[in-house]
Structure 1
Amino acid sequence: MAVILNKLYAQGQRMDLRLIAGGEGLNQMVSWVHMVENKEASSFLDGGELVFTTGIGLFQGSTLMDLVKSTYGHHAAGLIINIGPYIQAVDEDIILFGNEHCFPIFTVPWRIHLSEIIRQFSYMITKSDQYDQETAAAFLNAIFFPKQEEMYVVSLTRRGFQAEWAYSVVFIQVEGKKDGPTERLNEINNLLKAFLMHYYEKFMIFTHEGRLLLVLADYSETETHAIVESAMQYLGKILKPEEVLSYGVGKNTRSIRCLYKSYHQASSLQKLQAHGKVDRSLHYYSELGLYKLLLAIEDPDILEDYYEKTILPLINYDQEHGTSLYAFLQCYLETDCNAKVTAEKLYIHRNSVTYNIHKIESILHISLSSLNVKMQLFMGMLIRDFL
């Protein structure tokens, strides 16, 4: 449940809400509103709240600056100060603190009822949450029930996502989240959403089964790459040292009806990357090469059967006899079957290369002089990484 602070501020200006510091922090997401009258009460904040104070709880030894620092320290989205009998003015050092820390600080005159501002802001946050939930549900319906267009086309069109636009899915996983993984993922979701909203409009980001799904709408492939790169750079800044990021980006679709294809491409690529099956620098489905053919095969039994008839017998032989013929074959194929380079890479004699080739040919009943055979074996190795 969150709405960007800048939208609340736009609404609050109609009620004489005035920003006095921290304008660079207006792109934060506000999770809820909360009254805090002293620094002790700020310990009840969960983070992301827009805090209101009249100053009635400030007593001797506790200052407004203490309250400002405390709310900031508990990750509030901003602070609204009610100027009146308890706080007559905001000192310059508080304004300086807000600007230095990009912490939005507002004032509102006493004649304005805080209850009315709180009511309006709470309504906007609730409606934003409802919008996000319904939009996310429609996109999930498009992914998992693509043939049932009545479950998503009209709903998304009403929200400005046209059916004939091109769409791309970014499948994001953050591993290593320790305390409160669900809460941390929601926090990352809100932070990334606020960042993207500052620069882009046609997107939707939400959590699903412990991952983040980012849907980009009506962007070219070049624009999609630019958006994804900026988003990942931002994530690199906000993630904790122990958190590990992996992601996959599906191909642009022809319409919303093909969104499921981009989703499956992105999710499969992310899983391959997370398990070390492909280079971690590969993030885009369009860059996968031969792996794209494997991803297009929906029946895993086909891949299993191919693997068992090409590479598995050699792996079984290695396990039974304590040899490393599979590793040798992998190096041999990767060096374009160059015996000299293979010998140098593996630190073995050229005669050993010849011996291993004959041994592999005998085990697999093949001839490595055949280009077709070498292609089959190479594909079998890719399938082994893929499974």
Structure 2
Amino acid sequence: MALTLEYFYHHTQSKYQLCLLTPTANLDRLISWVHLVEDRSNCSFLRGNELIITTGMETAKPGELLPFVQQLASQHACGLVLNMGPYISSVPQEVNDWCLAHRFPLFAMPWEVHIADIMQDYCNEIISEKRTQDLRTEALEHALHMNISEKDIPVLEGFRGCFLLVSDQELFFPWYAHARMGELFYYASVTLPSVPKEAHCGVSEPVSSPYSLPVQAKHAGRALTVSQIRNESPTHFRNIGLYNTVLAINDPEVFAQAEKLLSPLTDPALRQTLRSWLEHDGSIQAVAQELFMHRNTVNFRIKRLRRIFALDTALQKTELLLAFYMEDVRRIMASDE
């Protein structure tokens, strides 16, 4: 379980009398550590995802608090706790407005609460969670390498019901476990993230047992390839259809035969029309709508295609559609080399 602002706020709101001043803020942010920061010059040392506490000893000076908050946000701090008291008696409206506009988590905490207590509490849990995460990461890496040991089983039991995700870019969301292999990022999670436009992500079916993890990883990897082909993310394994068969083929000769089958199609317009016609099970209306063409144009192209290919049986159509899918996979694989 990745520790987030929402987790700590929910579990310690009463204990430390925390008040969330920006109710629309993003509380899914991960917390890597807790720091007491009183000077803007120290912000450059932040690595990201830290929760910051300040008494305002320096930052509450006129015109200082808003730039302080803005610099924390630029350094990817996950939030700010204002220790209300002699230095900060009220939150300037401009600070509140900026945090609301940027969904930056801003909290207030009474002066009577000891900063050392909340820092020790949070940091101890972060350390404990880090140890647990190390165990999960190690077990997940063993599963991805199909090298599960007996000591991994109790850890991997906690993965039941999780989806396995694989992405070509690092994702930031409340995952249960994660690992990196080469250029790919693997996550186990009960929730699915919002994937950035520039990233691609494949999703497996839920994990049913520790020993199913290698299979789910393979399925998520195939879904990732389809995500790259379709430029749709996330892509679920259950929705990749015929690509699952294509991605199980490792024989270069089969790919060469598919390429040869499509070689008579030198006209890009005919190639596009044939593929659309095959994918829509021969529906002229569906092809016309997808390609923004008149039905007569589609019919004319299909007549031309029938002079090139036999399009009379389901087997002939399936061979051609399979060849198109193999062409997609070959192109993606070539771009990765």
Pick closer, same or farther for the CA change 1:272–1:108 going to 2, 3 Å.
same
Aligned position for 1:305:
253
How far has the Cα of 1:121 moved from its partner? Answer: 2.4
Aligned position for 1:288:
240
Q: Is the 8 A contact 1:2 1:31 kept in 2?
A: no
SS in 2 for 1:42: helix
How far has the Cα of 1:270 moved from its partner? Answer: 1.5
Aligned position for 1:172:
167
How far has the Cα of 1:300 moved from its partner? Answer: 0.4
Aligned position for 2:199:
245
Normalising to structure 2: TM-score of the pair? 0.71
SS in 2 for 1:150: coil
- Structure 1: 5+ residue stretches without partners: 175-184, 194-202, 218-226, 361-366
SS in 1 for 2:235: coil
How far has the Cα of 1:63 moved from its partner? Answer: 4.6
Alignment partners' CA distance in 1, 2:13 and 2:315? 70
Aligned position for 1:125:
126
How far has the Cα of 1:313 moved from its partner? Answer: 6.5
Pick closer, same or farther for the CA change 1:13–1:259 going to 2, 3 Å.
same
Pick closer, same or farther for the CA change 1:257–1:324 going to 2, 3 Å.
same
Pick closer, same or farther for the CA change 1:151–1:39 going to 2, 3 Å.
same
Counterpart mapping for 1:367-386 below 5 A: 372-386=315-329
Pick the aligned partner of 2:186 from 186, 202, 213.
213
Aligned position for 1:267:
221
SS in 2 for 1:305: helix
Alignment partners' CA distance in 2, 1:45 and 1:383? 47
Give per-residue Cα distances to partners, 1:75-122, cap 9 Å, x unaligned: 4323333455x526234637844566453222242573x344333322
Give per-residue Cα distances to partners, 1:290-333, cap 9 Å, x unaligned: 223334x3x502xx233334542663xx6xxxx72798578557
Counterpart mapping for 1:95-114 below 5 A: 96-97=96-97, 101-109=103-111, 112=114, 114=115
Q: Is the 8 A contact 1:204 1:214 kept in 2?
A: yes
Aligned position for 1:29:
30
Counterpart mapping for 1:7-26 below 5 A: 7-9=7-9, 10-11=11-12, 13-14=14-15, 16-19=16-19, 21-25=21-25, 26=27
How far has the Cα of 1:369 moved from its partner? Answer: 5.9
Aligned position for 2:153:
153
Alignment partners' CA distance in 2, 1:58 and 1:381? 62
Higher-helix-fraction structure: 1
Paired residue type of 1:3: L
> Quick one: percent identity of the two aligned structures?
18
Alignment partners' CA distance in 1, 2:73 and 2:276? 55
SS in 1 for 2:43: helix
SS in 2 for 1:3: coil
Pick closer, same or farther for the CA change 1:314–1:128 going to 2, 3 Å.
closer
Alignment partners' CA distance in 1, 2:151 and 2:253? 37
Q: Is the 8 A contact 2:164 2:217 kept in 1?
A: yes
Q: How many residues align?
A: 313
- Structure 2: 5+ residue stretches without partners: 288-294, 331-337
Q: Is the 8 A contact 2:262 2:320 kept in 1?
A: no
SS in 1 for 2:178: strand
Counterpart mapping for 1:31-70 below 5 A: 31-57=32-58, 61=62, 63-64=64-65, 67-70=68-71
Q: Is the 8 A contact 2:258 2:327 kept in 1?
A: no
How far has the Cα of 1:124 moved from its partner? Answer: 2.0
Give per-residue Cα distances to partners, 1:104-156, cap 9 Å, x unaligned: 222242573x344333322222222222232233223223226x351521123
Give per-residue Cα distances to partners, 1:53-82, cap 9 Å, x unaligned: 233335865554554454345443233334
Question: 1:324 aligned to 2:266?
Answer: yes
Pick closer, same or farther for the CA change 1:293–1:348 going to 2, 3 Å.
closer
Q: Is the 8 A contact 2:83 2:111 kept in 1?
A: yes
Alignment partners' CA distance in 1, 2:216 and 2:312? 39
SS in 2 for 1:382: helix
Alignment partners' CA distance in 1, 2:266 and 2:113? 82
Pick closer, same or farther for the CA change 1:377–1:250 going to 2, 3 Å.
same
Q: Is the 8 A contact 1:168 1:252 kept in 2?
A: yes
Pick closer, same or farther for the CA change 1:47–1:94 going to 2, 3 Å.
farther
* Structure number, greater radius of gyration: 1
Alignment partners' CA distance in 2, 1:333 and 1:22? 51
**Is the deviation greater in 55-64 or in 281-290?**
55-64
Q: Is the 8 A contact 1:19 1:105 kept in 2?
A: yes
Pick closer, same or farther for the CA change 1:49–1:94 going to 2, 3 Å.
farther
Pick closer, same or farther for the CA change 1:130–1:29 going to 2, 3 Å.
same
Alignment partners' CA distance in 1, 2:227 and 2:129? 34
Alignment partners' CA distance in 1, 2:217 and 2:176? 14
Pick closer, same or farther for the CA change 1:324–1:36 going to 2, 3 Å.
same
